Chain A
Amino acid sequence: AQSVTQPDIHITVSEGASLELRCNYSYGATPYLFWYVQSPGQGLQLLLKYFSGDTLVQGIKGFEAEFKRSQSSFNLRKPSVHWSDAAEYFCAVGTSGTYKYIFGTGTRLKVLA
């Protein structure tokens, strides 16, 4: 069965520091991968997605993610974090043959001034 693992429940970084949020998936074929962000009281906003092609994808708000098939990973990165990036981040996988997304448990990011 497909699954998504986000190993880090909480991450704290200082403003201006770099960020990497980890995501590992389990799926036999090529997955369709997504990163969503959820700010307090808000819905889920898509940051970026990977379907095929270039394994480094650029998203909104200065985020990027790299698909590594050999590691079954799709880690999210940002070179310099802003205080407004404090939120919860969810990795999700979509697969052919189903309508659903499967989400990870999320990583809550705290940004120190």
Chain B
Amino acid sequence: EPEVTQTPSHQVTQMGQEVILRCVPISNHLYFYWYRQILGQKVEFLVSFYNNEISEKSEIFDDQFSVERPDGSNFTLKIRSTKLEDSAMYFCASSVNRTPTGEQFFGPGTRLTVL
């Protein structure tokens, strides 16, 4: 069964460093998403991406964040200058159709630790 994959599974970085989190969505999906979950808190929407542009973003997704689909298979989230509060689990998701009726399939997550 096709699945969303994410690399790395765990990333440790120093505050102020740039990180890139990588995702490979399911191949025939057209809509892509990033969510994050700070330890002990709810899963929060960051951004959605369709047709090579951001379709929606939350207030969390400020200028420090960017997303890109550099080729036909990868979808990346970049954090330019990480802060301690960026430590969280980051989930990538993809869907064939637009939400809400398009079911989002989630990857296993990347745990980001900012020291």
Interface residues of A (CB under 8 A from B): 31-32, 34, 36, 41-46, 49, 51, 90, 92, 94-96, 98-106
Expressed in whole angstroms, the Cα–Cα distance for A38 and B109 within the complex equals 11
Query: B45 contacts which chain A residues (CB < 8 A)?
Result: 100-102
A58 to B115, CA, bound (A): 44
Q: Give A68 to B41 CA distance when docked, in angstroms.
A: 26
Contact B4 A101 (CB under 8 A): no
8 Å CB interface, B16-35 against A? 31, 33, 35
Question: Which residues in A have their C-beta under 8 angstroms from that of B108?
Answer: 41-43
Other A-B pairs, 15, CB within 8 Å; known A32-B101, A99-B98, A100-B99: A31-B100, A32-B100, A43-B6, A43-B106, A43-B108, A51-B101, A90-B43, A94-B99, A95-B100, A98-B56, A98-B100, A99-B33, A100-B45, A100-B58, A101-B99
Query: Footprint of A on B, CB under 8 Å?
Result: 4, 6, 31, 33, 35, 41-45, 48, 50, 55-56, 58, 91, 93, 98-101, 103-109
In the complex, which residue of chain B has the Cβ closest to the Cβ of A100? B45
**Which chain A positions have C-beta within 8 A of B31?**
99
Question: Of B42, B48, B93, B106, which is within 8 A of A104 by CB?
Answer: B42
CB distance from A8 to the nearest CB of B (A): 14
Expressed in whole angstroms, the minimum distance between the Cβ of A49 and any Cβ of chain B is: 7
Name A52's closest neighbour in chain B (CB-CB): B101
CB of B18 to closest CB in A, whole Å: 25
Instruction: State how many angstroms separate the Cβ of A96 from the closest Cβ of chain B.
Output: 6
Are the CB atoms of A100 and B42 closer together than 8 Å?
A: no
CA distance A94 to B56 in the complex (A): 14
Contacts of B55 in A (CB 8 A): 99
Given A103-B43, A103-B44, A105-B41, residue A46 in contact with residue B56 (CB < 8 A): no
Residues on A with beta carbons closer than 8 Å to the beta carbon of B105: 46
A-B pairs with the 4 shortest C-beta distances? Answer: A94-B100, A32-B100, A99-B48, A100-B45
CA distance A42 to B109 in the complex (A): 7
| Contact A96/B100 with A43-B107, A43-B108 known, Cβ cut-off 8 Å | yes
